């Protein structure tokens, strides 16, 4: 009988451990999801910065309106194009960006 009690306690202990393990797994899943999203945003940002860097190379002569088009696209994709926060992610509209867009 004593052995059965010990086995029961062991099973309960394992149940608790599994519960904790399951919670940890859930937290890790959320973390991975955040990292995947961050990675996606950084990839987009990186692609834009590469485009911008390409515009500054000597071989590339920008066509008329190309810079304005590029900046509009960058803004639509959710990034600042203003001098204050250029290239960083935008939360909602930015008055500085909108002013920059009107000037181009
Ligand atoms: Zn801005």
pLDDT at 50: 83
76 C-alpha to ligand 1 centroid (Å) = 12
Cα 100 to ligand 1 centre (Å): 9
The pLDDT score that the predictor gives to residue 44 is 87
pTM for this prediction: 0.49
pLDDT per residue as tens digits for the range 38-56: 999 899 888 888 887 777 6
Quick check: 50 and 57 in contact, CB under 8 A?
no
Q: Quick one: 4 and 51 in the same domain?
A: yes
Whether residues 54 and 79 share a domain: the answer is no
> What pLDDT does residue 35 have?
96
Query: What is the pLDDT, as a whole number, of residue 68?
Result: 84
Q: Which of 84, 80, 60 is nearest to 71 (CA)?
A: 80
Q: Are residues 31 and 81 in the same domain?
A: no
Domain that holds residue 73: 62-104
Task: Say yes or no: 27 and 69 in one domain.
Answer: no
Residue 45 Cα to ligand 1 middle (Å): 15
In this predicted structure, what is the pLDDT of residue 9? Answer: 96
């Amino acid at each position: 009988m004593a052995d059965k009690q010990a086995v029961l306690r062991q099973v309960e202990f394992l149940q608790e451990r599994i519960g904790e393990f399951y919670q940890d797994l859930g937290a890790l899943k959320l973390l991975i999801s955040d990292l995947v999203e961050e990675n996606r945003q950084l990839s987009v940002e990186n692609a834009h910065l590469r485009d911008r860097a390409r515009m500054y190379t000597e071989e590339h002569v920008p066509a008329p309106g190309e810079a304005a088009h590029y900046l509009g696209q960058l803004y639509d994709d959710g990034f600042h194009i203003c001098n204050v926060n250029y290239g960083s992610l935008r939360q909602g509209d930015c008055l500085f960006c909108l002013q920059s867009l009107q000037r181009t």
